[in-house]
Amino acid sequence: MAVMTRSKTNWQDWLEAAAALVYPGICQICRDQKSDAREGFVCGNCRSQVQTVRPPFCSRCGLPHDGDITSNYECGNCLNQAFDFRYARAAVINKSVVQEALRRFKYSGAVWFEPFLVELLVNESISMLNPKDWDVIVPVPLHPVKQRTRGFNQAEILGRGLSQASGIKINTTLLARHLPTPTQTTLARAARLQNMQGAFRVKNVKRLDKQRVVLVDDIFTTGATTNACAKALKAAGSAEVCVWTVARGL
C-alpha cells in the first residue's frame, strides 16, 4: 500500500491549485494519461516502470547485484573504500521515470513531483526507520549560494516527508556545506571523493552528542557526498549514520 506523508502548508495548497490549472489532470512524464497533484502528476502507467531496489545488494552501499546471493556481502568498491556511514539504501533505481522526475525537480523547479518522490522514499524506508533506533533526520545541505539560486533544497523536502511519516525529528541546520564545490555530475569516482573533502561541517557539536543520524539525499551514486557528510557527523560525535536516498545510480 502506498504511503502518503506530506504535511501540507498554505503554499503547498496554493501550488497544487496552480499546478492543477496549468496541468489539468495530465501526467507530466508521458503527458498522455490522467494524473493529479496528489500523485505528483505521475500516472499509473509511468509508475509501473519504476524499479525498486531489491536484494541481493551490497550490505554497505546498497548497490544491486545480478545473481543469487543469500548471505551479506560488500561490493568491490566498498571493500576498497572506508565509508563512515553504517549503510546506504535507496528506494528505486535512477532510470526512466524516476531519473526524469528528479532531474526536473532539481534543475527545472518542477516541485509538483514532490508527492511522487516522497512516496517512493517513504514506502521503501519506513519499515527500517524506527524512532527508537534513530534520533534525527539530517538532509544533505546545499551551499547557501546554490540554494538561493535554486530556491530550495531537494534533500530537505524529501527529509521533511520522511520525518512526517516516520516520526523521527528533522534538523535542517545541524550540518552545513561551507565549500562551494563544483557539481559532481560530470566527475569520475576519484574526483568526486577529492571534490567533497572538507566540504561539510557540523554547526552545533553539542546537539549531536551520541545522536544516531539518518542522512537523506535524492540520489546515491559513488557515495562521495554522503560519506563526506557522514565523516563530519561522526567526527562531531554522532554514534552512527545511515543513508537513505530516493534513487540509486548504477
* Residues 91, 69: Cα–Cα separation, whole Å: 20
CA angle in degrees (0–180, nearest 5) for 220-221-226: 50
The pLDDT, as a whole number, for residue 71 is 75
* Residues 204, 249: Cα–Cα separation, whole Å: 32
Q: Are 239 and 210 in contact (CB under 8 A)?
A: yes
**What are the domain boundaries of the chain?**
83-248
The pLDDT, as a whole number, for residue 185 is 58
Q: Are 110 and 28 in contact (CB under 8 A)?
A: yes
Neighbours of 70 (CB within 10 A): 7
The pLDDT, as a whole number, for residue 135 is 97
Torsion-angle region of 131 (φ positive above 0: left; ψ -120 to 50: alpha; else: beta)? alpha
Q: Dihedral of the CA atoms 28, 30, 36, 42 (nearest 10)?
A: -90
**Which residue is it, cell 556481502?**
73
The pLDDT, as a whole number, for residue 175 is 95
* Residues 247, 124: Cα–Cα separation, whole Å: 11
Render each residue's pLDDT in the chain as its tens digit; 250 residues: 344 444 455 555 655 555 555 656 899 999 999 999 889 999 999 999 999 999 999 999 999 988 777 678 888 888 888 899 999 999 999 999 999 999 999 999 999 999 999 999 999 999 999 999 999 999 999 999 999 999 999 999 999 999 999 999 999 999 999 866 655 455 555 555 555 667 899 987 777 889 999 999 999 999 999 999 999 999 999 999 999 999 999 8
* Residues 90, 219: Cα–Cα separation, whole Å: 8
* Residues 162, 151: Cα–Cα separation, whole Å: 21
3-state SS class at 203: coil
Radius of gyration for the alpha carbons in the chain, expressed in angstroms and rounded = 18
Alpha helices in the chain (DSSP H): 10-22, 44-47, 76-79, 96-107, 114-125, 144-150, 154-166, 189-196, 224-235
- DSSP code, position 179: S
Cell readout for 90 is 535507496
**Which residue is it, cell 527508537?**
132
The pLDDT, as a whole number, for residue 5 is 44
The pLDDT, as a whole number, for residue 101 is 98
The pLDDT, as a whole number, for residue 178 is 84
Check whether domain 83-248 has CATH 3.40.50.2020, yes or no: yes
The pLDDT, as a whole number, for residue 15 is 58
